[in-house]
Structures are given as C-alpha cells and as structure tokens.
Structure 1
C-alpha cells in the first residue's frame, strides 16, 4: 500500500509538472482559461515578450523599483524577480482574471511581496472614476477601446499614474497597455522616474499617437535610448540622470 501511495503521489507530481510551461527561466501554469492554444504556442516558441526580455537586462538594476502597467500574465514581473534579481516590483493590470493568474505565476516561481493592483492608470488630467475595459482572446488584445469585437467588458477602478508612481517610489516604469500609451504621459509627474520602457502599438494609435506620446515624454525630460530600443519596445531615459 505504501508503494502504491508513493506511486500515486509521483503521478500527481508529474501531472503538476506537465501543467507548467517554462519561458526563459519563468514557470507559467498552463491553465487553458488563460493560456489558450495561441498563447501557449507563443510561449513554447519563445516569441512571447521576446523584445522586452531582450532589452530588460541591458538597463535594469537589482535595486530598481519597478511599476509595470499592463502586467498581463505576470511573466515580466516574474522574469525581473527571478532572472534579474529585482526585489521591488508592482503590477498594474486591468483584467481581474489576469490579476488572479499573476498571483499563481508568482507562487509557481516562489515570488513573494509583489503587489498586484486591478486598476487602469490614466493621465493626471483625467477625472477619476471607473473605466470600461474590453477583454479579448488572446488576452494581449484587450484594451480600453471597444473596437474590434470583444468577449467581455468589465468595470475597473481608475488611478492617476503619478499617484501610483509616487506611492511606490518607482524609478522604473514598464508600459504595455495596447494603445493607452498615447496620452498617458500628458502632464504626468515622473519626478523620481529615470527609465520608461514602453511598448508602442502603432496599429492602435498611428503615427500621430506615437508623436504625442514621445512629445509628452520629451517635455518631461526623457530621451530615446537607441542602444536598448528594438522594434516596438522603446526605452526612454531621463536626460542628465542615470
């Protein structure tokens, strides 16, 4: 009986291991409600967030205090913690289902102490209330834009970007919010931020939207860093500060 019990435990452990995907040293629970076949293919082929993880080691320091907007499935925050030894990370994600999943990803990687906030970060000029967030499949297409078609809409609390950054004393901001970057930095207070790593969604905001976003960052004292930027993943550094 002991042998059979041990065999059963081994089978359960083996099944658990089979239900974990691995990407660049990060374990990701293979839960089909979130990790759909398209997402799983991207992870297995190591295409998921490829540009971001290529750039991050070039400018991230372990002592950085990172706020991530659009935290998705928690891969980037887990990569920062497990592979780059960043100790202070805060995740902001509008999709409440993904917020729960991020917690499970962190647990699978032995990560503790990362705050996950279900919210939408907006420019300081915006009067706070609730935002309607439109969820799509795959999850990375979800946004505040009601077009194209979506599978679900949820109401999400709004927070001012400057308040989030100030409360956390962040010096690094990572942004992947499917077009929400267009006006995010308009009049924002980024006083303690040195580095902004931004995924630009040209198909959502067009060239005029990119210009508006870049102009706002320039007005706040940031410059494009060609050495790190690649494709749609762009790093801005504060001029005169490292």
Structure 2
C-alpha cells in the first residue's frame, strides 16, 4: 500500500496464498489504490510446475512446507504457479524490490539479475537461513552493486541502494 502511493506506474505484488488475493484487492479498493497488480504466484530461480501451498487455519503458518505445524491445522492445499524470477523481472522491469519471503531469500536472491534495480528492501529471517544465508543475501546485493544502507535499515529489515545521497560528516 505504501509503495503504491508513490509516483509509480505500477506496483507488482506476488502472493502465494490464493485465499488472500480477494482480501488484498478489497484492501486496495478501500484505500483508493489502483496501480497494484497482484499475482498469485511464487518467484523462484527457475519456473516449474505448480507447487502445493498449505493453507493453514492459522493463516500466518501457511507455507510451502507441509511440515512445521500439526497436520490437522491444514485447511486446504492449493496449487500455486512458480515463475522464473529473472524472466518476470525482465518483463515488468522493476526499479525497486521489497521482499519478505519467509526464509526463501537465501535461495532466491542470489539467483536474481539486479539490472535496473536502484534499491532493495529485504526482511531477513536469520532464524531459518542462518549466518550463511544472511551472508548469501549481502553478497548477492554487493555483487550487484547495491550497498547496505544503514539509515533506512532496522533490525532484520535491511535496505540496499545503488547510490546514496551525499553524506556530510
């Protein structure tokens, strides 16, 4: 919602849980947001056949992982499209990435071609990706020419920018 209020042509959002799509559209309509395109899909290093997404009674526990909670908590199993992240980025040509993908950042972000991105806001999940995963995210960003920007980073949410505003000591 915040990103959609900026002067941008479109914001593309990718949501795995198909049960949230209607709610997201309603939220946007109630807030006068018309420039967001919501995709019911998962971005991955390579496209594949649709995968199972486990919708749980506890919505926050829904995931691609069948394990992790009591099996009786699974409300439904939905098929979700898996898109190639680089092909998708080449098509939509984003200038900024905002990413909260619950631990998949260590696998997906190193595979991304960052051409055209001026900034990235990433929520890290060190409890799942560990120090090697955190390092993989930072190394991918740095290799792409994006530097850690501490002014906008906070705790597990880290910001990377291609260039910084002038800083005076």
The verdict on a shared fold, with TM-score over 0.5 as the criterion, is yes
Structural mapping, 1:150-169, within 5 Å: 151=74, 152-169=76-93
Structural mapping, 1:1-150, within 5 Å: 78-82=1-5, 84=6, 86-123=8-45, 126-149=46-69
Query: 1:239, 1:220 → 2: CA distance?
Result: 12
TM-score of the superposition, structure 1-length normalised? 0.60
Give the superposed CA RMSD: 2.3
**Alpha-carbon spacing, 1:205–1:145, altered in 2? closer, same or farther (3 Å):** farther
Moved over 4 A (4+): 84-87, 239-242
Q: Return the offset for 1:85.
A: 5.0
**Alpha-carbon spacing, 1:172–1:137, altered in 2? closer, same or farther (3 Å):** farther
Query: 1:148, 1:225 → 2: CA distance?
Result: 34
Query: 2:165, 2:65 → 1: CA distance?
Result: 35
Query: 1:200, 1:166 → 2: CA distance?
Result: 24
Residues 120 and 131 in structure 1, CA contact (< 8 A), matched pair in contact too: no
Aligned partner (choices 142, 156, 167) of residue 232 of structure 1: 156
- Any gaps of 5 or more consecutive residues in structure 2? none
- Any gaps of 5 or more consecutive residues in structure 1? 1-77
Is 2:108 aligned against 1:184? yes
Which region of structure 1 is more displaced relative to structure 2, 225-234 or 148-157?
Answer: 148-157
TM-score of the superposition, structure 2-length normalised? 0.84
Is 2:124 aligned against 1:200? yes
Q: Return the offset for 1:86.
A: 4.5
Q: Which residue in 2 is equivalent to 1:222? A: 146
Name the count of aligned residue pairs: 162
Query: 2:95, 2:116 → 1: CA distance?
Result: 5
